[in-house]
Structure 1
């Protein structure tokens, strides 16, 4: 069995406090085929000094203004040559140095489009491990963290839709679900994510509005989704 190349993309801006820890969590993975890409938005706080410190271990890096986090991610996608993509934002990190080997030196990824795991959320007051939700619930909300997600590069060729400034990852993954893409849950914590920071946390109300807009884009609302779940459960009960 061939071990696939994993392209990990980190986007950052003025992240001097956290970028090194994030980068080392990727660079220290005990997995031979990691392609690491760092897209900086033109930082002015010393972030570039840290990126340059590890430049010889990066497949690609750049520092230039962008149109937002998903525009930066799309730049990373355009440079990625791996079989799988992961987005590990500055401030977040892999939970340990064996995450990639656990996922890709096994058969978990065979005939799969999206591989996802659990997450440990880091708050100012402590940490909390959260198991990924049932994939059927993705019609209502994001049921796993994108930092704990690996997506086949071939289905991300068009990147994220920049119409959605805060929830483009949810829009993409919900689209994959409706298209019938195969999702597989690997029952291990994959990433440590700062929940007290980040665009979604700092703009929660706007993020929720985007999620509702995404639902409408796919032709349903939250109430429709509840009805759909009720119907599925009813059919299941009749079958058994």
Structure 2
């Protein structure tokens, strides 16, 4: 059995409706080597009261103003001491109570573990899997046709996990994962559902800004001309998906 420590970081701001569900999904894990950090952005809606209620199960929590979600995530990374890090933000859940144990049991000593994500709406009803299926074998080039691994579904060795680039307000997680993947030698597909994701975050509400940031990130990592060609392929695949399904889940 693995004895690697996993630091799980939850970032939250004024989300009293969902934070308890996320906390429970973490503290009920059967895997014993978990460090749990909660970074709250100075919530005023009762979120902090919920966090305090579960204080004995939380390794550390803070509540203070921040400069946005990725600044808060950087605060979490700065406090993390585990061998691996996982972000499970407020509203999302680890898929099942034995998920973390199963992730580390899938293979020894990987730099990155990843899995599939199930999407949920605001009423916490399942709306199925993401449109972009996870790749059979992930590497830093795998995002060139769109983000195909959810932020909540990737466990990254802390020693290769840098800080988030605060120039990006909505898509810094994509840049963060690609940079880590460039350093990874062993990447393991757990071949299982590992996360439940609440749709409708800021990247949905500010969709065009998110798309522009993604284009800049992909250009930085893949080059301008290949990125333009890749986006043409993305557009064709999206059109085919709309024709077949009439909807889109990221």
Same fold (TM over 0.5): yes
Q: Is residue 183 of structure 1 aligned with residue 187 of structure 2? A: yes
* Residue matched to 2:211: 208
* Residue matched to 2:172: 168
* Residue matched to 1:140: 145
Q: Is residue 114 of structure 1 aligned with residue 112 of structure 2? A: yes
Q: Distance in 2 between matches of 1:109 and 1:9?
A: 23
**Greater displacement, 123-132 / 142-151:** 123-132
Per the TM alignment, residue 165 of structure 1 is displaced from its structure 2 partner at its CA by: 1.1
Secondary structure (helix, strand or coil) at the match of 2:36 reads strand
Give unmatched runs, 5+ long, in structure 2. 233-250
Q: Is residue 194 of structure 1 aligned with residue 193 of structure 2? A: no
Q: Give CA-to-partner distance per residue, 1:96-141, whole Å, 9 cap, x none.
A: 101111012x25242x221110000012564203442353431232
- The question of whether the paired residues in 2 share the 8 Å contact of 1:103 and 1:109 is answered with no
- The question of whether the paired residues in 1 share the 8 Å contact of 2:68 and 2:169 is answered with yes
- The question of whether the paired residues in 1 share the 8 Å contact of 2:160 and 2:184 is answered with no
Q: Is residue 149 of structure 1 aligned with residue 154 of structure 2? A: yes
Q: Is residue 218 of structure 1 aligned with residue 218 of structure 2? A: no
Per the TM alignment, residue 175 of structure 1 is displaced from its structure 2 partner at its CA by: 2.3
* Residue matched to 2:240: none
- Counterparts in 2 of 1:214 and 1:190: CA distance versus 1, 3 Å: same
Give unmatched runs, 5+ long, in structure 1. 228-240
* Residue matched to 1:236: none
- Counterparts in 2 of 1:102 and 1:164: CA distance versus 1, 3 Å: same
* Residues paired across the two proteins, number: 224
**Greater displacement, 172-181 / 143-152:** 172-181
Per the TM alignment, residue 174 of structure 1 is displaced from its structure 2 partner at its CA by: 1.8
CA-atom RMSD in angstroms: 2.1
* Residue matched to 1:234: none
* Residue matched to 1:54: 54
What TM-score comes out, normalization by structure 1 length? Answer: 0.86
Q: Distance in 1 between matches of 2:108 and 2:103?
A: 7
What TM-score comes out, normalization by structure 2 length? Answer: 0.83
Write out the 4+ residue segments of structure 1 that deviate beyond 6 Å after TM superposition: none
Q: How does 1:64-79 map to 2 (within 5 A)?
A: 64-79=64-79
- The question of whether the paired residues in 1 share the 8 Å contact of 2:103 and 2:190 is answered with yes
Q: Distance in 2 between matches of 1:82 and 1:49?
A: 26
